[in-house]
Structure 1
């Protein structure tokens, strides 16, 4: 392995680490030498992930909507491992009921908007704030935020979710600017559709076809694809990269409107 990609000796917190992108990131980071605090609202699932790795991982409960639990999570991780070098802000507001409520602005309940912003923006800010002193102390701290391709485009639905992810992109730039001279880099990864276990089971087949038709690649992303991007940005291989959003969507956001129709027209 290219030496700069190694995470040997590093300590990381991965929020939302009990499944999907978070779990794939935990697996990859530990495989590259890091020790990881698996933070998740589903503590039992986080424990199942951490147990696989013995002393290299611990599970910590955390609820992004409750400040005290966030503070306790960061303190527990640092107390256990003695330091913190990497923060992967991956946890997000989830649940089918919440997704269904995230309709157009004209029909949206204020509570839905507030829930997304409380979890994704306020919660991520608090995690970052609590982690920053330890990342500064590391002298080589790295933050990687999971945002979304939806932050870059308009859509008929998912207005609250996409707005929070756009806000997180700006938070990424702000932290990178303010803390670069203090030894902390901050970047983001913007996935497109990622076939996590839940998505693979529940995502409507007709909508999956729509996404595939608009994807220049012949596949949609897997959690491991995003984990590779996160681990790269957290490593010394990305030491001169900060304040950036790496779009990992298979090319969905790069092409002209009507891409699928053009492919049909040209017989491609």
Structure 2
């Protein structure tokens, strides 16, 4: 079974700003109803919902809190109908600055736990809250957001990259379990993006270096990653599950 994007109700976590906001915008452009989840970015999320129109709502929930996620899904369902599609883009606070990163000598358990709590446990909470309705409809699309640093850790951001690697594992095991219910689970992995709050601290020389090493000679934008995300929700991807699509201008192959 497949549904056109304009027939879907899409929850985008971490959609108040950055890549999540670009993804919410892309789905709304294609006619989907969109739930803009945010944790702290209330004014930005509400402004985005206003721009996207009557079929968009901004709802607060910390994805690391199962109760908050369940309450958000219940409210979203009341306002827009059952969630058919999830994009898990929520990111624990992070700054991509290689000079200021935590090294193995300074990395703490708390640093690791914060990233894994949002990326992996947050995904689990959202999946558990949305899968019953998807299974009842025999249709669902779950898309997680990863990173090309898993394949090419050019800067060793240990906490962030290990969390995304674990999320890729959960993506694939979820695909194996949920496929018989008509639910596909895939990942879209961007590289360094120009520019989000998280990449704002990245020196210009790094952007130039990345651009010079990609076949397309450019740094990927949030809008470009967002457009690729649409594929996994579209009818054209109805037979695709458990995959990781790297969207970084060809910096990483495979």
Q: TM-score of the superposition, structure 1-length normalised?
A: 0.87
SS across alignment from 2:232:
helix
Shift of 1:53: 2.8
Asked if the contact 2:19/2:226 (under 8 Å) is kept, the reply is yes
Hey, which bits of structure 1, 4+ residues long, moved more than 6 A?
A: 97-101
| 1:99–1:19 CA distance, 2 compared to 1 (3 A) | farther
Shift of 1:246: 0.4
Shift of 1:49: 0.6
Shift of 1:14: 0.6
Shift of 1:119: 1.5
Shift of 1:5: 9.0
Aligned to 1:209: 208
Q: What per-residue deviation string (whole Å, max 9, x for no partner) do you get for residues 35-72 of structure 1?
A: 01100112222111111233210100011232322222
Asked if the contact 1:64/1:120 (under 8 Å) is kept, the reply is no
Aligned to 1:262: none
Q: Larger RCO: Structure 1 or Structure 2 (Cα < 8 Å, ≥ 6 residues apart)?
A: 2
Larger Rg: 1
2:36 aligned with 1:20, yes or no?
A: no
Aligned to 1:218: 217
SS across alignment from 2:54:
helix
Shift of 1:212: 1.8
Aligned to 1:181: 180
Q: What per-residue deviation string (whole Å, max 9, x for no partner) do you get for residues 114-171 of structure 1?
A: 1111121111111111111122123221001001001222344311100010111111
Asked if the contact 1:83/1:138 (under 8 Å) is kept, the reply is no
Whole-Å separation in 1 of the counterparts to 2:150 and 2:137 = 31
Shift of 1:96: 3.6
Aligned to 1:172: 171
Aligned to 2:238: 239
Q: TM-score of the superposition, structure 2-length normalised?
A: 0.91
Aligned to 2:122: 123
Aligned to 1:140: 139
| 1:164–1:197 CA distance, 2 compared to 1 (3 A) | closer
Q: What per-residue deviation string (whole Å, max 9, x for no partner) do you get for residues 81-107 of structure 1?
A: 121111001111124499987522232
Deviates further, 190-199 or 7-16? 190-199
Tell me how large the CA RMSD over aligned residues is: 2.2
Aligned to 2:103: 104
From the two aligned structures, give the one with the greater helix fraction: 1
Whole-Å separation in 2 of the counterparts to 1:184 and 1:105 = 38
SS across alignment from 1:37:
strand
- Structure 1's unaligned 5+ residue stretches are 256-268
Asked if the contact 1:6/1:32 (under 8 Å) is kept, the reply is no
Whole-Å separation in 2 of the counterparts to 1:116 and 1:100 = 19
| 1:156–1:230 CA distance, 2 compared to 1 (3 A) | closer
Shift of 1:245: 0.3
| 1:156–1:192 CA distance, 2 compared to 1 (3 A) | closer
